[in-house]
Amino acid sequence: MILNHINAKPRVLLLSASSGAGHVRAAQALERAFRARGDCTVEHADAMNYVSQLFQNIYEKAYITMVQRAPVVMGLLYDRTDQPWKHESRRLALDRLNTTPMIQLLNKIQPDLCVATHFLPAEIIAWLIAKKKLRARHAIVITDYDVHAMWLCRTVDRYFVALPEAEEYLARLGVPREKVRVTGIPVDAEFAKPLDRAEARKYFGLDLNATTILVATGGYGVGPVEQLVGRLLALERPWQVVAIAGKGEQVRRRLERLAEVGGTLPSGLPRLRVVGFTAEMDRYMAAADLLVGKAGGLTSSEAMSRGLPMALIEPIPGQEERNADHLLEAGAAIRCNNLPAAAWKIAALLDDEARMERMRCAARRMGRPRAAADIAENALRLLD
């Protein structure tokens, strides 16, 4: 093992990007997995803190605005840029102009192993290694079920992907198979711990016997959550709905007003429970019978790790639609394309216990709760 520093333990640098909550959550899961080993030092940096302010605005604010106001444009952009091995030099030139602080960070730390959960830092790392300005092993963790061309880099030692289909796709593009590992998308270690449904409901003060629907909007509260929750309550079924508003404060307040008029269950507990940003999604998923929300790579992987079926609401064109395709193909989800009929479709599913059990089994088969630990172990072997 050749190290870039005197320290006997190899230095691992994880690079994520807060342009989407999933990339950061994946890196946090990996950080915990690497630290648990005790045989390396670990640092985690958000690439958005090491780019120009203009670049940060484009990646963060423009992304959310486009998702909310122009999802069709988002999908078109996603498809147009999915051209493997094309426009690399043009894209890299733009990235280099705006990521000087990130390059300085990498030069300062001189890690032995870089692990990227977002394509922006992955591309910069690959360029520095190719130019012999960085001496490190390079691993990329793809945080969706599909592989977009933006993830492709020339100087990569390992790709970690979610599905065998992704491995086959990369191989067909010319990536040597020995550089690809099918591990699943990394989720927090808590998802690997068995948790009884009744215990999870008791922990949150939920009705132990009522069918529980978990509605998740994503970290930024994106999506038609209020309309959906309102329609679920309007069916007047004996369900309890737990709505995760994420960081969307306005969404949370509007949901709380819905809860005030949403009524109670026969047990006297409220039919709607509203939760803001939470770090306990593993427990909420353990408590639920069905997850209703978006088809983000991390959220979907967390649900699969808990064996939790999903009802996908208007997936964002692009990566979410592709994620949805994989979940539907596996039999672990249904898709609700029309918001007015979504509550009815969810009710029909919950009334069909045999189908729900098949979907739970499919979710468990797809789940990879140990992905983070497996990635940490395999990535460190690159230093042998």
Residue pointed to by tokens 């690439």: 47
Pair 78, 178 in one domain: yes
Pair 237, 339 in one domain: yes
Pair 62, 102 in one domain: yes
Pair 195, 305 in one domain: yes
Pair 23, 96 in one domain: yes
Torsion of CA 147, 148, 150, 152, to 10 degrees: 40
Q: Model's pTM, two decimal places?
A: 0.91
Tokens of 373: 């630990």
Tokens of 245: 């508003």
How many Å apart are CA 334 and CA 28, to the nearest integer? 29
Pair 217, 279 in one domain: yes
Task: Name the residue among 241, 315, 252 with its Cα closest to residue 72.
Answer: 315
How many Å apart are CA 204 and CA 243, to the nearest integer? 13
Parts of the chain with a pLDDT under 50: 1-2, 219-221
- Please report whether residue 331 resides in a domain: yes
Contact of 15 with 99, CB cutoff 8 Å: no
Pair 29, 127 in one domain: yes
Give me the domain span that covers residue 171.
11-187+370-381
Domain count, the chain: 2
Pair 235, 293 in one domain: yes
Distance of CA 351 to the CA centre of its chain: 29
- Please report whether residue 6 resides in a domain: no
Task: Name the residue among 246, 242, 209 with its Cα closest to residue 228.
Answer: 242
Which pLDDT score, from 0 to 100, does residue 59 have? 62
- Please report whether residue 349 resides in a domain: yes
How many Å apart are CA 89 and CA 318, to the nearest integer? 23
| Amino acid sitting at position 256 | E
**pLDDT tens track for 266-293:** 999 999 999 998 989 999 999 999 999 9
- Please report whether residue 5 resides in a domain: no
Pair 140, 256 in one domain: no
Pair 162, 109 in one domain: yes
DSSP E strands in the chain: the ranges are 11-16, 41-46, 113-116, 137-141, 158-161, 180-182, 211-216, 239-244, 272-275, 290-293, 310-313, 333-336
What CA–CA distances, in Å, run from 185 to 21, 44, 223?
14, 17, 23
Which pLDDT score, from 0 to 100, does residue 1 have? 45
**pLDDT tens track for 117-136:** 999 889 888 988 888 888 99
How many Å apart are CA 303 and CA 333, to the nearest integer? 10
- Please report whether residue 1 resides in a domain: no
Task: Name the residue among 246, 318, 230, 241 with its Cα closest to residue 272.
Answer: 241
Pair 240, 347 in one domain: yes
Pair 267, 200 in one domain: yes
Contact of 228 with 339, CB cutoff 8 Å: yes
The CATH number linked to 331 is 3.40.50.2000
- Please report whether residue 4 resides in a domain: no
How many Å apart are CA 106 and CA 134, to the nearest integer? 8
**End-to-end Cα, the chain, rounded Å:** 5
> Could you tell me which residues are beta bridge partners of residue 12?
42, 113
- Please report whether residue 201 resides in a domain: yes
How many Å apart are CA 75 and CA 316, to the nearest integer? 7
Task: Name the residue among 308, 78, 316, 315 with its Cα closest to residue 200.
Answer: 308
What CA–CA distances, in Å, run from 68 to 39, 92, 149, 166?
43, 28, 24, 28
- Please report whether residue 3 resides in a domain: no
